[in-house]
């Protein structure tokens, strides 16, 4: 019985590795072959990374009774704050984009 379990685990590890290589490899190959088509996506990813970095720098490292009771240090507190601010910023950006798209439709119809 142990032999079958070991074979199944080994086969699972092999298939997981193949899937991971395909997950990374195929988009990378497409990006290299069609760089002009992938520019917008790469710029959008870069913009998100820059936004995350700037928000992380700005987020406070709060400490208080709640954080001490939960055993959350300043670095974890900073990450939590950055996650919250990022969620708010991207949500606000999505809402603003929806308003922009709707107003743009109004002016295109007339």
Please identify which residue in the block is written with the tokens 């999505």: 94
Q: pLDDT of 85-110, one tens digit each?
A: 999 998 999 999 999 999 999 888 76
d(CA 63, CA 77) in angstroms, rounded, equals 7
| Number of structural domains the chain divides into | 2
Q: How far apart are CA 89 and CA 66, in angstroms?
A: 25
Same domain? For 54 and 107 the reply is: yes
Around Cβ 25, how many Cβ atoms within 10 Å?
A: 11
Based on the fold, state whether residues 67 and 104 are members of the same structural domain: yes
| Structural domain span for residue 11 | 1-33
CA pair distance 61, 80, nearest whole angstrom: 9
Report the alpha-carbon distance of residue 90 to residue 44 in Å, rounded: 13
Render pLDDT for 6-46 as a digit per residue (tens, 0 to 9).
Answer: 899 999 999 999 999 999 999 889 888 888 888 888 898 89
């Amino acid at each position: 019985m142990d032999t079958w379990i070991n074979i199944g685990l080994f086969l699972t590890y092999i298939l997981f590795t193949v899937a991971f290589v395909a997950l990374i490899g195929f988009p990378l190959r497409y990006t290299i072959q069609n760089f002009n088509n992938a520019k917008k996506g790469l710029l959008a990813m870069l913009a998100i990374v820059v936004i995350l970095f700037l928000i992380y720098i700005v987020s406070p490292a709060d400490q208080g009774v709640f954080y001490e009771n939960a055993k959350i240090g300043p670095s974890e507190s900073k990450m939590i704050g950055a996650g919250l601010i990022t969620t708010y910023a991207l949500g606000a950006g999505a809402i603003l984009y929806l308003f922009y798209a709707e107003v743009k439709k109004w002016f295109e119809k007339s």
